Structure 1
Amino acid sequence: MLLTEKSTAEKFILSSETNTSPNQRLLPITATINDKNHLVIGGCDVSELVTQFGSPLYILDEETLRTSASQYRDGFKEFYAGESQVIYASKAWSCMAIVSILASEGIGFDVVSGGELYTTTKALEMSGFTTEQISNKIYLHGNNKSVTELELAIDSECKIIVDNWLELETLARLTAEKQKSVNILIRLTPGIECHTHDYIRTGSIDSKFGFDANQLEGVFAFVKEKSFINCIGLHAHIGSQIFELQPHNDLAGVLADWFKKALDYGLPLTELNVGGGLGIRYTESDDPPSITDWVKTVAQAVTKACEERNLALPKLIAEPGRSMVATACVTAYTVGGRKVIPDMRTYVSVDGGMSDNPRPITYQSLYQVVIANKMRSENAETVTIAGKHCESGDILIKNIEIPDTQPGDTLVVLATGAYNYSMASNYNRIGRPAAVLVNQGEANLIIRRETYDDLVRQDLLPSRLTVNN
């Protein structure tokens, strides 16, 4: 290889350096190559992290996560004249370390289950936040919240984004029984289409989420009569992994119209939640808007929509998830065996797959990889990266060019911070991987690797099935 030539992995790093918005990069912002030709993230050699902590291994770069959070937070302060609050969509990846980091950056939290609510509350308590600070930072979502979840939300005094009539009626009953008020936002279906996968499109009319337009006036009238329910805002979300900006302009107008209508009903609305949905760069061909451009578009659209309707600027809420955490994390695997089918395909197997990253088999999602211990090596073969699970569809990436690999090499899949650990399973009774947080050369374990004992911890064996019974 000529000295002036660059390997594909080197080009990934160089191209990433030109993008200041983390969601437009392929690698975390701290990614470099050391004199061993190894990938370094957060000042830590990725291959050495695998030696120390094992694989598969999620590696979360603290600086990238904090940069994404600050770009969202500071962007709204710059482009929106009213009050604003960025809340992290915890479904992307909920764990106590992420909660603590984002809370320290002034970020709030969108949670979608009792488990996420408990995790977030516990992490904030351990991080030193007061009860009042905690309740103001959390919004509970969900299209089928259980009574237990609603009771937990009422008792924790977080805000609840109400999704349907059953939930609204249940809340009215529970709050009356407890003689305890609750602050809610009404989720509506805006009827806006955007180009994304069918499974992650949530703003169209044909969606399981939110009240339809023909229900909203009835909802407003119902809420107006309930003394323990304070309707403080409206919410809508149009989908995920979106590269378009125009739908957010359309959404602002729809929300502002209904905001004005709710005020006419006498509801004390002060908040407008526009959801999230900004996409990230998973492959070289992906070209998402920057975080700053997305924030600017949303802020200006809401401002214009309110001005046109003579509305005072509400508190503007946004819910980024994927675009805040995805690029901050990579997953490191150890290369195992290979199968060569002449004139057809070469499979290279790794020690993980669909149990730690179900997105390829679920959404046909595409990813980019590097070989962490061969960062300056040229691509030499086209292979298909196969997982270890007993499933023909357990394929992480098809037909990708990589350097020659040997068993024991460290293969790294990029941008795995969103919907990887959060959707991980124990398929084939494989334990979920460990996760480490890296920053300035220090690596801290934030999630332990599951053991075999963990896998049977919840199993019960009736006494009648034992041999000596």
Structure 2
Amino acid sequence: MLMLKEHFSVNSLGHLVVGRLDAVELAERFGTPLYVVDEQRIRERYRRFYRAFSSQWSEARVHYALKANSNMAVVKVLQSEGAGADVSSETELRIALKVGIPGEKIVFNGNYKTQRELELAILNDILINVDSFQELEAIDKIALRLGKRARIGFRINPDIRADTHPYIAVGLRESKFGFDVISGQALAAYKRAKEMSSVEILGIHANVGSQILDAAPFVEEAEKLMKIVSEIKERFGIDLKFVDLGGGIGIPYKPEDRELPPEEVAEKVVGVVRRVVQEKGLEKPTLLLEPGRFIVADACVLLARVGYTKERPGMPDWVAVDAGMNALMRPALYGAYHHIELANKMNQRNEHLVNVAGPLCESGDFLGKDRKLPKVEPGDLAVVFDVGAYGLAMACQHTAQPRPAMVLVNGDKAEVVRKRETYEDLTRLDQIPSWLL
């Protein structure tokens, strides 16, 4: 079944077109395996997401989640659109700063932030969403030493069950993230912070998970967050400036998946926020959103060259391509589905049942199983869709395979935005001890 989203097309040769460029020609020009990112699609998705919320709530800010794809060119595209950043490591933080996102538009999340990361965040006036009491104490001490007031919010654990893979369901009470609400830890954290001289309490944050295609968990999250916002005002006299709803809106990966429009989420979530603000007489907070996958996932494809095919009587043929779980981890790690076609045979009927595998020494090294494609031959070009989020970001060097190159396409222009790794790249940090020389 051909599953082609609106920003792709097929030319007269039957080849996939990304932007205005032939995918087959891109593979020949830049080699494979190759990530290809459509800049205009990223811009379209960002603008749609931003409009969805800003049209409902004037004080809404979008902080792109760099964990989805931290390539500097991708982040620069979003910076040029006015996006802020959601970061979870020193490198992501430095990338955001380097492309021109100011510290006050960066949010730092995560359950373990090192002393060095906290220092960098405090010095750059970044909003730190605190994840534990010990981290709160560390922030206060570092800020005192630096002569700064750290800008903080608290990540709370809302105990919300979302229909997604358990590894990316991060809002459950048993997950490692955030202050527990049920036991009273969340409110206790605000009470403790109010006693500190070197922190400025600005916000509250939660995240229910990733790849969610139902608005209900986001509505439940908003209800629980705003209940705590009201309690914080009532008990401690603190009007929170930021209510950070995190990210999590998914995309259709499978032909049968239903899209969750951000407009639907925005209308329902903002409805909750507006009602509670009015009922409780709260100051109007700025809503922070942290989308990643929604913005970049379907803007990118992975091109992989077919090397060999292998028949197994009574079973799907095996198709070996030059990209595997080293280039795209999600199928092996999550059992995730990514749609696959042949970029050079888009007009041919998908009638042959195959498994598409990579070159690694693992049975789990596959990109898709039980897929129907045209008759596959060596030299064909497989295209794996929807890989812009957690594709290259999770790539590895299993069996010393170099990670792929990435090109950015803008209309009929294309440039490398991440070079292909080489033998020298993979070995430059290795050292042989003196006694073996």
Is the pair's TM-score, using the shorter chain for normalization, greater than 0.5? Answer: yes
Residue number in structure 2 paired with 1:123: 99
Residue number in structure 1 paired with 2:66: 90
Residue number in structure 2 paired with 1:427: 398
Query: SS of the residue aligned with 1:437?
Result: strand
Residue number in structure 2 paired with 1:159: 127
- Supply the AA of the counterpart residue of 1:346: D
Query: Partners of 2:274 and 2:245 in 1: how far apart?
Result: 13
Fraction of identical pairs, as percent:
39
Query: Partners of 1:151 and 1:194 in 2: how far apart?
Result: 34
Query: SS of the residue aligned with 1:85?
Result: strand
Shift, 1:117, TM fit: 0.6
Query: Partners of 2:16 and 2:179 in 1: how far apart?
Result: 48
> Which of 34, 44, 53 is equivalent to 1:76?
53
- The answer to whether the aligner puts 1:444 opposite 2:415 as a matched pair is yes
TM-score normalised by L of structure 1: 0.90
Preserved CA contact (<8 Å) 1:56 1:334: yes
Query: Partners of 1:86 and 1:167 in 2: how far apart?
Result: 25
Query: Partners of 1:119 and 1:262 in 2: how far apart?
Result: 34
Query: Partners of 1:148 and 1:159 in 2: how far apart?
Result: 15
Shift, 1:339, TM fit: 1.7
Query: Partners of 2:188 and 2:422 in 1: how far apart?
Result: 52
1:6-46 Cα distance to aligned partner (Å, 9 max, x none): xx43xx33xx34xxxxxxxxxxx1x1111111111111110
Query: Partners of 1:308 and 1:72 in 2: how far apart?
Result: 28
- Supply the AA of the counterpart residue of 2:38: D
Residue number in structure 2 paired with 1:273: 244
Residue number in structure 1 paired with 2:258: 287
Preserved CA contact (<8 Å) 1:278 1:288: no
- The answer to whether the aligner puts 1:51 opposite 2:28 as a matched pair is yes
Query: Partners of 1:114 and 1:365 in 2: how far apart?
Result: 28
Query: Partners of 1:35 and 1:266 in 2: how far apart?
Result: 66
- The answer to whether the aligner puts 1:35 opposite 2:12 as a matched pair is yes
| Segments of 4+ moved more than 3 angstroms | none
Query: SS of the residue aligned with 2:298?
Result: helix
Query: Partners of 1:396 and 1:343 in 2: how far apart?
Result: 21
Preserved CA contact (<8 Å) 1:354 1:395: yes
Query: Partners of 1:432 and 1:169 in 2: how far apart?
Result: 40
1:222-258 Cα distance to aligned partner (Å, 9 max, x none): 1101121011010011011111111211111111111
Using the TM superposition, name which of 308-317 and 387-396 deviates more.
Answer: 308-317
Query: Partners of 2:272 and 2:403 in 1: how far apart?
Result: 42
Residue number in structure 1 paired with 2:276: 305
1:390-435 Cα distance to aligned partner (Å, 9 max, x none): 1011111010000011111110000000111111111111111000
Preserved CA contact (<8 Å) 1:248 1:301: no
Preserved CA contact (<8 Å) 1:202 1:237: yes
Preserved CA contact (<8 Å) 1:85 1:316: yes
Shift, 1:268, TM fit: 4.4
> Which of 179, 187, 199 is equivalent to 1:229?
199
1:287-318 Cα distance to aligned partner (Å, 9 max, x none): 12112222222222322232333323210011
> Which of 162, 177, 188 is equivalent to 1:194?
162
Query: SS of the residue aligned with 2:305?
Result: strand
- Where do 1:355-434 residues align within 5 Å? 355-434=326-405
Preserved CA contact (<8 Å) 1:88 1:108: yes
Preserved CA contact (<8 Å) 1:109 1:139: yes
- The answer to whether the aligner puts 1:184 opposite 2:161 as a matched pair is no
Residue number in structure 1 paired with 2:429: 458
Query: Partners of 1:415 and 1:305 in 2: how far apart?
Result: 37
Residue number in structure 2 paired with 1:130: none
Query: SS of the residue aligned with 1:176?
Result: helix
- The answer to whether the aligner puts 1:340 opposite 2:340 as a matched pair is no
Query: SS of the residue aligned with 1:183?
Result: strand
Query: SS of the residue aligned with 2:386?
Result: coil
- Supply the AA of the counterpart residue of 2:292: G
Query: Partners of 1:464 and 1:215 in 2: how far apart?
Result: 54
> Which of 21, 39, 42 is equivalent to 1:62?
39
> Which of 221, 229, 235 is equivalent to 1:251?
221
1:91-145 Cα distance to aligned partner (Å, 9 max, x none): 0010111111101111110000011111111122xxxxxxxx6112211111011
TM-score normalised by L of structure 2: 0.97
Preserved CA contact (<8 Å) 1:434 1:445: yes
Preserved CA contact (<8 Å) 2:56 2:270: yes
Count of aligned residue pairs for this structure pair: 434
Residue number in structure 1 paired with 2:188: 218
Residue number in structure 2 paired with 1:141: 109
- Supply the AA of the counterpart residue of 2:178: G
Preserved CA contact (<8 Å) 2:293 2:388: yes
Preserved CA contact (<8 Å) 1:335 1:409: yes
> Which of 172, 179, 182 is equivalent to 1:204?
172
Query: Partners of 2:69 and 2:268 in 1: how far apart?
Result: 26
Residue number in structure 2 paired with 1:110: 86
Query: Partners of 1:351 and 1:237 in 2: how far apart?
Result: 36
Query: SS of the residue aligned with 1:460?
Result: coil
- Supply the AA of the counterpart residue of 1:216: A
Shift, 1:463, TM fit: 1.9
- Supply the AA of the counterpart residue of 1:463: S
Preserved CA contact (<8 Å) 1:224 1:266: no
Shift, 1:280, TM fit: 0.4
Using the TM superposition, name which of 296-305 and 388-397 deviates more.
Answer: 296-305
Query: Partners of 2:19 and 2:410 in 1: how far apart?
Result: 5
- Supply the AA of the counterpart residue of 1:236: A
Preserved CA contact (<8 Å) 1:230 1:268: no
Query: Partners of 2:270 and 2:48 in 1: how far apart?
Result: 14
Preserved CA contact (<8 Å) 1:355 1:427: yes
Using the TM superposition, name which of 295-304 and 148-157 deviates more.
Answer: 295-304
Preserved CA contact (<8 Å) 2:239 2:282: no
Unaligned 5+ residue runs, structure 1?
1-7, 18-28, 125-132
Preserved CA contact (<8 Å) 1:140 1:158: yes
Superposition RMSD on alpha carbons, in Å? Answer: 1.2
